[in-house]
Amino acid sequence: MSVRGFDSYGAIPVTDLLAAGASFVARYVSLQQGKCITASEAAGYRNADLALVLVYEDEALDGLGGAAVGAAKAAIAAPVLDAIDWPANRPVHFAFDFASGDYASDYPTMVSCVRAFAAGIGRPEAAYCDAWLGVYLSSQGVKYLFGFGESTSGVEGPWAPATVWQGPSTTLAGQPVDPDTALKPDYGQTPWSDLVKTNVRVNIGPDGEGQAPVKGVTPASFVSATAVFGVGPKPAGAVGLDTGSGPNGEAVVTAKGWGPNIVIDIVVGYLAS
């Protein structure tokens, strides 16, 4: 999957974001007032159905200060998060805005910074960083990784652990922005529901039954299935959840009790991994 968005130093008018095809915007929590998101700005995105991703950044090298800096920045971020009603299960990405390959010996210090910051704000661990540090953080269990662009890191992307990937800078509404691509259903955004939905088409055979695999979804994450419309006769029918799995281990949706030789579309809900 991929979802288009932008990150920017300052607020971008909602109308410009929508006109550019954005589904989300990444903004900052910071000591710098022009850079720090405001409650009214966040409400504007919410009212326009634009998802929001957050990054914390003051100075590029702050993350080299370890746990003490992480805790101090968390104290700064907390009132901002309260003001914009940021959910407790959504991360804020701590920024390491430099080529981390030059500081590989400091990686444990950077991890301690991420963990202290996340603990201080009471949210999941997340980082804004280049590929080298991102791979290391991923190996340490950090789930949310906003990977900044190749112009800084020297690594072509997107790289596998990233949940959001940043492209080369451009301008929007007269302001510099970075185009972003969300690479996974859960990329740290709000609003967010653990239940992801996808559509599956099922061909009903002469016996009034049919089934279809749900690609990329395992039986363990399979939650619900609802018929939304059919093509042809629409007698009363039911949609069942198969407790087994398809030949490749994927979940399978089954439909029973329908009129023969029709096609139905089913909305399947599943939990994102």
Per-residue H/E/C for the chain: CCEEEEEECCCCCHHHHHHCCCCEEEEEECCCCCCECCHHHHHHHHHCCCEEEEEECCCCCHHHHHHHHHHHHHHHHHHHHHHCCCCCCCCCEEECCCCHHHHHHHHHHHHHHHHHHHHHHCCCCEEEECHHHHHHHHHCCCCEEEECCHHHHCCCCCCCCCCEEECCCEEECCEEEEEEEECCCCCCCECCCCEEEEEEEEECCCCCCEEEEECCCCHHHEEEEEEEEEECCCCCCEEEECCCCCCCCCEEEEEECCCCCCEEEEEEEEECC
pLDDT-based confidence at residue 220 (cuts at 50, 70, 90): low
Query: Quick one: what percent of the chain has pLDDT higher than 70?
Result: 83
pLDDT tens, 106-140? Answer: 999 999 999 999 999 999 999 999 999 999 999 99
- The residue behind tokens 């009471």 is 122
Flag whether the pTM goes above 0.75.
no
What would the two tokens of residue 143 be? Answer: 């789930």
Q: What average pLDDT score do residues 74-99 get? A: 96
List C-alpha distances in Å: 97 to 32, 121, 128, 130, 174.
Answer: 16, 20, 7, 8, 23
Phi, then psi, of 37 in degrees rounded to 5: -65, 150
Residue type at 270 in one-letter notation: Y
pLDDT of residue 240: 55
pLDDT of residue 236: 43
pLDDT of residue 194: 65
pLDDT tens, 7-36? Answer: 999 999 999 999 999 999 999 999 998 999
How far apart CA 202 and CA 265 sit, in angstroms, is 6
pLDDT tens, 245-255? Answer: 777 778 888 87
pLDDT-based confidence at residue 232 (cuts at 50, 70, 90): very low
- Contacts of 173 by beta carbon, 8 Å cutoff, 6+ apart: 12, 13, 16
Other C-beta atoms within 10 Å of 65: how many?
18
Nearest Cα neighbor of 165 from 130, 132, 114, 113 is 130
pLDDT of residue 224: 67
pLDDT-based confidence at residue 87 (cuts at 50, 70, 90): very high
272 vs 267: which has the higher pLDDT: 267
Bridge partners (DSSP) of residue 55 are 28, 93
Q: What average pLDDT score do residues 167-185 get? A: 91
How far apart CA 161 and CA 142 sit, in angstroms, is 10
| Average pLDDT taken over every residue of the chain | 86
